[in-house]
Amino acid sequence: MARWPKFWAPQRGSIAFRLFVSATFWSLVILLGAGIALSALYRRTAEADFDNRLDVYMHALIADVATADDPSTAMPTHLGEPLFEISLSGWYWQITRLDGDHGDIRTSRSLFTSHLPRLADQGVAEGAGSVREGYVIGPDARVLRLVERAIDVGAQGKYLVQVAATTGDMEDNIDKFQLALAATFLALALALIGTSALQVHYGLEPLRRLQEGVGDIRRGGREHIEGAFPVDIAPLAAELNLLIDANRAIVERARTQVGNLAHALKTPLSVIANESDDDPAQFAAKVREQAHLMRDQVTFYLDRARVAARAGAFGRATDVLPVIDSLLRTFPKIYAGRRLRLVNPSDLAPKFAGEQQDLEEIFGNLIDNACKWAADEVVVSLSQTSDGAARRLIQVDIDDDGPGLPENLRSAALARGRRLDESKPGSGLGLSIVVELAELYHGTLSLATSPQGGLRATLRLPIID
């Protein structure tokens, strides 16, 4: 099952975080801009519709004034809106004579004793048809939408016809529209955010599969990145496969050259050693001694070169438990009378990021050293730990019940070629080889006093998931 991407808990700077935040930001900006534009458009449309309604009443009033025998005294009666008859209803009309000194004003009954202000006095410019439109404060302190127009009926005078109505109903409709618009856009924003999340998940899926493929190779589960990738990712997967193949080819060539060099050097050294064995002279003995020393040195450094080449290779993984079990079954046959047992209280089954033969050499040298010095028993204990870099480590403690080793000699015991007791067989290279191998794999080896009274060798090696 595919894992959900990390943008659900995004890390700053990640591609998923950048894509998700960018898509969310621009979606919200576009929705906010569209919401503001639609709200303003709806308001203008609502005002235009309201003005058209007021214009109907205004034109009816103008018609009455223009056709009346005496416009100064005519009272319109056929507007068809009962709110003009109710006091302070919010719907008003007013006709004011502009010429002469008459100053006649006729109003709807709804205005009672009040009068409407003039838009011309407030600096409102005339629009189409010499009509002014704007907002004023009515007699009851409510906001009114007012339209007015000045007309000239010739000898009968000039008049200003005004019609006003409260905008409460219009504002209520605008508020309802804005609320519905906000709810709709909120749902749309959530849908877009979810869509952005799914888009990032779908778009980055090939990269996650590529990451998992490289991880499988690192853990030793596969040798190549497998599967079909989009055209823009497929070249990267192919290049990684070529890089892995090139790495393996380099390692194989290094192994071949190391083997060739080993044979080229060991054969002459064997000849020298054999010839010196046939001659008991002092010179021959010295040659024999140096030949054996050179052979040990050649073996040591060739093995180190071989391991160094393998330590950086891709796709190497070895189960730790089978290697230890095999060695614990083998050494009792070599060291009769020694009891070897494994303690793994947490049932760990770690994998070592390296070659099996290197792990066998590491554990083999440590267990062999413990068996040489143990009086009766050797205990191998497994546990899991970590270091300062948060790497997962397998810790292997190998304890014996032998005489142990003084603290001031432990560093010398890890030095190459140092034998602290000539009574035991060996070249003195065992522990130093373990140190070298452990360091090549970024591990450590340390010596301490065992709870059983002998020596404890503690090995820590990185493990993989």
- Which tokens sit at 148? 């007015």
pLDDT tens digits, one per residue of 281-332: 666 666 766 676 677 666 666 666 655 555 555 556 788 888 888 888 888 8
Model pLDDT for residues 29-39, shown as the tens digit of each residue? 999 999 999 99
- CA nearest to 354, candidates 413, 310, 289: 310
Residue 61 banded pLDDT, cuts 50, 70, 90 = confident
Share of the chain above pLDDT 70, in %: 76
Residues 6+ apart with CB under 8 A from 115: 94, 105, 107, 139
User: What tokens does 17 get?
Assistant: 């975080």
So what CATH class is 318-464? Answer: alpha beta
What is the average pLDDT value for the chain, to the nearest integer? Answer: 79
409-434 pLDDT, tens per residue? 888 777 754 444 444 444 445 687 78
Is the model's pLDDT at 8 over the cut of 60?
Answer: no
> Is 80 exceeded by the pLDDT of residue 401?
yes
How big is the CA angle at 370 (ends 364 and 376), to the nearest 5 degrees? 125
Helices (H), 227-355: 234-277, 282-311, 320-334
User: pLDDT grade, residue 81 (50/70/90)?
Assistant: confident
Give pLDDT, residue 399: 92
* Length of the chain measured in residues: 465
Total-model pTM = 0.50
Beta-carbon contacts of residue 334 (< 8 Å; ≥ 6 apart): 371
pLDDT digits (tens, 9 = 90+) for 124-155: 888 777 888 888 998 888 889 999 988 888 77
Tokens of 23: 């898509």
Q: How confident is the model at residue 20 (pLDDT cuts 50, 70, 90)?
A: confident
- Distance between CA atoms of 8 and 20, rounded to whole angstroms? 10
Annotate 150-170 with DSSP letters as a single string.
EEE-GGG-EEEEEEEEE-HHH
Confidence category of residue 247, pLDDT binned at 50, 70, 90: confident
Residue 42 binned pLDDT confidence (cut-offs 50, 70, 90) = very high
DSSP H or E segment with residue 448: strand 444-449
Q: Are 434 and 365 in contact (CB under 8 A)?
A: yes
Euclidean distance between the first and final Cα of the chain, in Å? 18
CA triple 127-104-157, angle to 5 deg: 60
Which range has the top average pLDDT, 9-23, 280-294, 317-331, 378-392? 317-331
User: Of 395, 303, 376, nearest to 335 (Cα)?
Assistant: 376
Q: What is the pLDDT of residues 154-197, one digit of tens each?
A: 777 888 888 999 988 888 899 999 999 999 999 999 998 888 88
Q: Is the dihedral of CA 51, 56, 61, 62 positive or negative?
A: positive
Q: Are 94 and 116 in contact (CB under 8 A)?
A: yes
